[in-house]
Amino acid sequence: MRPVLLKFAATVLTLGATFASAVFVTSHLKNPVAPLQPPVLTGTSALGGAVVVGPSVQPSNQPPITSTYAS
Amino acid sequence: MRPEQAVVAHHFEAMGTACSLFAVGRPQSCLVLGERWVHDLASRLTRFSADSELSRLNTRAGEWVEVSAELEAVLRAAERAYELSSGLVNAAVLPSMLAAGYTRTLNAGATTVMLERARPAPALPEVLRVRPARARIESGAGIDLGGIAKGWMADRLCEVIGPNAVVNLGGDLRAVGAGPQGHGWPVGVAGVTLLLRDQGAATSSVRRRRWGGAHHLIDPRSGLPADTGLEEVSVVAASGFEAEVVAKTALLVGPGVAPAYCASHALAWWLDGRHDA
């Protein structure tokens, strides 16, 4: 008798968890305007084109104090 | 706007290239000490001096050799570069570099190009083993630390000079702190000024260090000087070491893959190459 009760309880628990998960997922829809990471849609990557700058780097009009270059 | 703070600067030549150190709130003597550190470490990590620590490791291939903490750290950085680049940044390309004629500093002139002797580089983990205070290179293999060492050194020196400083070792640079105006250090990348804060930048190119139809950037897959269609890549990343690895990898994967690769590995980037590629 006891194993049958345990199986029944496990089945109820599984079905309950499945139902709760389905409710949770459908009530938290994907945000279609969430930003893409990394920002592959900004800037151009054509050869010799503009520098592509991600959001953690800020462009400036200041003269550079030093530069990266091929050596 | 925060008033601009005075920047101390120090320029010198090391590792066959121009180096610059900048700092806010540090004495000039601190930067001079930084130059000594660069010269000292460069003399131990160069393959162009027979009595350097790296040369001793290369010439004693096949046996365990005691190494300093610094060489051990750079060798581990080389292993990390290999992992990060899926094998494209491979310090074990030394035999191919020698076959390409890069046997001595370019100031002394390259020797004969013998590309028929070039072979694909072995997988780094198969020929380099690093343990605490010792390392071993397998017989027939050789290690060149090149740009990996420069990026690593820029990162380490910047930490020492910091907390508000820039170290530029031949184009491999690292910037820490808020810079003189509090918004980051203004650094030139492919003709554009970017404000870097706790970030690094590097450029990989096949346009410099050329001789007799060859150049210094070896593609480990072929053992030959790289010819992917990309000729120069500049990258901003989280550190100088990382920027060096990403720039070199992007150049080696070529123009078809490099934009997507940089989009997922770099904070800013610029690609240039043969426009017929």
Tokens 């380099």 sit on residue: B128
Q: Which two tokens stand for residue B236?
A: 């901003």
Q: Give the tens place of pLDDT for each residue, B145-173.
A: 988 999 999 999 999 998 999 999 999 99
Query: Would the pLDDT of B67 be above 70?
Result: yes
Residue B150: both structure tokens together: 């420069």
Instruction: With cut-offs at 50, 70 and 90, classify the pLDDT of residue B117.
Output: confident
Closest partner CB to A57 (pick from B170, B202, B267): B267
Q: Taking 60 as the threshold, does the pLDDT of residue A39 lie above it? A: no
> A21 by DSSP, 3-state: which?
helix
The verdict on residue B215 lying in a domain is: yes
Q: How confident is the model at residue B98 (pLDDT cuts 50, 70, 90)?
A: confident
Number of domains forming the structure of chain B: 1
Q: Closest-CA residue in chain A for B179?
A: A65
- Whether the predicted pLDDT of A41 surpasses 60: no
Q: How far is A48 from chain B (nearest CA, A)?
A: 4
User: B133 in a domain, yes or no?
Assistant: yes
Closest of B198, B203, B175, B177 to residue B187, by C-alpha: B175
**A5 CA: distance to closest CA in chain B (Å):** 53
| B2 assigned to some structural domain | no
Q: What is the pLDDT of residue B209?
A: 75
CA B231/CA B229 separation, integer angstroms: 6
Distance from the B207 Cα atom to the nearest Cα atom in chain A, whole angstroms: 8
Domain interval for residue B13: 7-273
Do the Cβ atoms of B151 and B241 come closer than 8 Å?
A: yes
Residue B230, in any domain of the structure: yes
In contact, B19 and B13? CB cutoff 8 Å: yes
What mean pLDDT comes out for the span A47-59?
86
Band (A47; pLDDT cuts 50, 70, 90): low
Assign residue B71 a region (left: φ > 0; alpha: ψ between -120 and 50; beta: otherwise). Answer: alpha
Find out whether B240 and B173 touch, Cβ atoms under 8 Å: yes
Share of chain B above pLDDT 70, in %: 96
Q: Cα angle at B182 between B178 and B184, to 5 degrees?
A: 50
Q: Test B263 with A52 for CB contact under 8 angstroms.
A: yes
Q: Which phi and psi angles does A45 have, rounded to 5°?
A: -120, 20
Tell whether the model's pLDDT for residue A56 goes beyond 80. Answer: yes
Cα gap B201→B38, rounded to integer Å: 18
Confidence of residue B277 (pLDDT cuts 50, 70, 90): low
Cis amide linkage into residue A38, ω under 30° from 0: yes
Please, which pLDDT band fits residue A42 given cuts at 50, 70 and 90? Answer: very low
B18–A71 CB contact, under 8 Å: yes
Q: Does B147 fall in a domain? A: yes
Residues B240-271 have pLDDT tens digits of 999 999 999 999 999 999 999 999 999 999 99
Comparing alpha-carbon positions, the chain A residue that sits nearest to B190 is: A51
CA dihedral B180, B183, B187, B192 (to 10 degrees): -140
pLDDT in the model for residue A40: 44
pLDDT at site B130: 98
Three-state SS for A50?
coil
Q: Where are the beta strands (DSSP E) in B112-164?
A: 128-131, 134-137
- pLDDT at residue A31 in the model: 67
Quickly state the pLDDT bin for B27 (edges 50, 70, 90): very high
How many angstroms separate the Cα of B261 from the Cα of each of A52, B53, B73, B181? 13, 35, 27, 33
Q: What is the CATH number of the domain that holds B100?
A: 3.10.520.10
Q: Residue B136 pLDDT > 90, yes or no? A: yes
Radius of gyration of chain A (CA): 27
> Nearest CA of chain A to the CA of B213: how many Å?
18
Asked whether residue B180 is domain-assigned, the answer is: yes
What is the model's pLDDT at position B215?
A: 75
Mean pLDDT of chain B, nearest integer? 92
User: In a mutagenesis test of the A interface, which of B264, B269, B276 is the best target, namely the one with the most A β-carbons within 10 Å?
Assistant: B269
For residue B173, what is the nearest residue in chain A, using CA coordinates?
A68
Residue B154, token pair as written in the block: 């820029």
Q: Give me the amino acid identity at B123.
A: A
Q: Which of residues 56-115 of B touch A (CB under 8 A)?
A: none
At residue B265, the pLDDT reads 96
Residues 6 or more apart whose CB falls under 8 angstroms from that of B198 comprise B175, B176, B177, B238
B62 pLDDT above the threshold of 80: yes
- Strands B17-24 and A52-53 come out as unpaired
